[in-house]
């Protein structure tokens, strides 16, 4: 690993914590109202205890004496969480940053004062997701599920304990995304959470639970708005969520459990492939199967990212005999959809987006979206959540 490491200065084992949950005493990311990291009590001139505990299965309890100053991130939901908590500048890595970071900023364009500086961040997968990489980044926390990590090449529980001991703790929950079964080593300690529950636990890491709860109120209001106006079940469209590539449709469910579906499940559309039980997290169908299902709406996953040109996707469908007969294509209802790896801010926009795509007569038409554009400007009276309120929470904690 490149020689001897320096003696512990910021990190040490916490008495009573399990090895998997052992955390460092970490220097921190200061929130706008947290004050100086070395604050003292003005009356006694003694240090103020700024430590806090965060809990998340499968890692358990992790104690931080200061909010992290640097955070390893793999999947972008955790980067979005950090931005939402006013700590986006702690993120030191990101999955395909030019895609994830650009997409996040496409949403943030509609939040005054909110942005994410992603350029120059390494892609952990690009460097092989190795122990050496985590040593070199020397992060204060790893927003990554150790249960997911042991499924990757050259990672074991022992490796995870090594990084936890010598670098920083892990803090992540991957399998709540689909409620799929975690690997056996972590199965007994596993719990499933909603996206917003995970966000609350991440907020505890940064000492920003109040800010997270304020954003959750916005989300709850948005859900209430949607649920109050949803058409009766018999009047809802059939839909699919797919990614199209070279004549194949990679298909995903709409209404199953898991935070990967946090932007489709609340909308309650009829999943055209609801009865399919795929052995993996998705299925693969061709044109004829898609035409047999012939959904009213096609939501193209990743379509709002720089990785897909929706004009090209629609053209390829038109140029196929079966694809050209799809009702969704004929009725201009093949839409760019967002990312599964969505954090709280992304989720707000993707819920609004999906509501308008599925129920334009109820929630207002989804504007024309051109590849590479920011999230469209929605007239104030057609917005389903208050952008100013969200921006104020993120930037000021208000």
Residue 387 has pLDDT above 90, yes or no: yes
Q: What does the DSSP 8-state code read for residue 168?
A: -
276 falls in which pLDDT band (50, 70, 90)? confident
1 falls in which pLDDT band (50, 70, 90)? very low
Whole-number Å distance between alpha carbons of 95 and 76: 7
- Residue 280, phi-psi category: left (phi > 0), alpha (psi -120 to 50), beta (remainder): beta
- CA dihedral (360, 266, 343, 107) in degrees, to 10, reads 10
43 falls in which pLDDT band (50, 70, 90)? low
Whole-number Å distance between alpha carbons of 208 and 194: 18
The model's pTM is 0.87
**128 vs 76, which has greater pLDDT?**
76
Burial class (CB in 10 A: 0-12, 13-18, 19+), 79: buried
Secondary structure (DSSP) of 275-292: T---SSSSEEE-HHHHHH
3-class DSSP assignment, residue 352: helix
49 falls in which pLDDT band (50, 70, 90)? low
Least-confidence region, from 39-43, 66-70, 107-111, 180-184: 39-43
Give kind and range of the element (H or E) at residue 363: helix 360-363
**7 vs 57, which has greater pLDDT?**
57
137 falls in which pLDDT band (50, 70, 90)? very high
Residue 12 has pLDDT above 70, yes or no: no
Q: Which residues face 52 on adjacent strands?
A: 64
pLDDT at 371: 76
Determine the average pLDDT of the residues in 264-278: 92
Q: What does the DSSP 8-state code read for residue 271?
A: E
Residue with the two structure tokens 């990743």: 302
Secondary structure (DSSP) of 330-376: HTT-EEE---SS--HHHHHHHHHHHHHHH-HHHH-PPPP--TTPPSP
Round the average pLDDT of the chain to a whole number and report it: 87
pLDDT at 23: 32
State residue 50 phi and psi, 5-degree precision. Answer: -105, 15
**160 vs 15, which has greater pLDDT?**
160
- Strongest mean pLDDT among 3-17, 214-228, 237-251: 214-228
Determine the average pLDDT of the residues in 290-313: 93
**276 vs 141, which has greater pLDDT?**
141
Residue 3 has pLDDT above 60, yes or no: no
Whole-number Å distance between alpha carbons of 62 and 52: 9
Q: For residue 40, how many C-alpha atoms fall within 13 Å in the half-sphere facing its CB? A: 5
Determine the average pLDDT of the residues in 95-103: 96
Least-confidence region, from 15-24, 71-80, 164-173: 15-24
Residue 199 has pLDDT above 80, yes or no: yes
3-class DSSP assignment, residue 371: coil
Whole-number Å distance between alpha carbons of 116 and 114: 7
């Amino acid at each position: 690993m490149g020689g001897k490491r320096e003696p512990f200065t910021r990190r040490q084992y916490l008495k009573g914590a399990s090895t998997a949950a052992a955390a460092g005493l970490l220097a921190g990311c200061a929130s706008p109202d947290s004050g100086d990291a070395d604050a003292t009590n003005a009356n006694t001139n003694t240090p103020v205890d700024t430590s806090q505990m965060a809990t998340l299965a499968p890692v358990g309890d992790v104690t931080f004496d200061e909010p992290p100053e640097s955070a390893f991130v793999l999947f972008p939901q955790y980067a979005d969480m950090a931005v939402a908590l006013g700590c986006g500048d702690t993120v030191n890595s990101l999955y395909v940053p030019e895609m994830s970071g650009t997409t996040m900023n496409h949403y943030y364009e509609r939040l005054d004062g909110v942005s994410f500086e992603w350029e120059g961040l390494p892609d952990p997968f690009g460097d092989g997701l190795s122990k050496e990489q985590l040593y070199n980044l020397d992060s204060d926390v790893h927003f990554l599920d150790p249960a997911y990590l042991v499924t990757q090449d050259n990672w074991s529980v022992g490796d995870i304990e090594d990084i936890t001991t010598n670098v920083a703790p892990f803090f992540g929950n991957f399998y709540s995304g689909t409620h799929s079964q975690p690997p056996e080593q972590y199965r007994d300690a596993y719990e499933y959470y909603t996206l917003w529950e995970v966000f609350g636990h991440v907020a505890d890491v940064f000492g920003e639970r109040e800010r997270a709860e304020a954003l959750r109120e916005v989300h709850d209001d948005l859900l209430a708005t949607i649920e109050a106006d949803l058409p009766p079940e018999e009047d809802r469209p059939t839909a699919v969520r797919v990614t199209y590539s070279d004549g194949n449709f990679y298909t995903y469910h709409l209404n199953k459990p898991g935070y990967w579906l946090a932007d489709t499940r609340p909308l309650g559309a009829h999943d055209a492939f609801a009865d399919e039980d795929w052995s993996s997290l998705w299925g693969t169908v061709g044109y004829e199967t898609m035409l047999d299902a012939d959904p009213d709406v096609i939501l193209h996953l990743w379509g709002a990212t720089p990785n897909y040109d929706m004009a090209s996707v629609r053209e390829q469908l038109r140029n196929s005999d079966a694809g050209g007969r799809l009702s969704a294509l004929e009725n201009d209802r093949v839409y760019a959809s967002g990312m599964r790896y969505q954090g709280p801010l992304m989720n707000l926009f993707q819920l609004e987006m999906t509501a308008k795509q599925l129920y334009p007569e109820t929630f207002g038409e989804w504007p024309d979206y051109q590849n590479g554009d920011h999230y469209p400007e929605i007239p104030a009276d057609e917005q389903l959540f208050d952008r100013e309120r969200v921006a104020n929470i993120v930037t000021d904690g208000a």
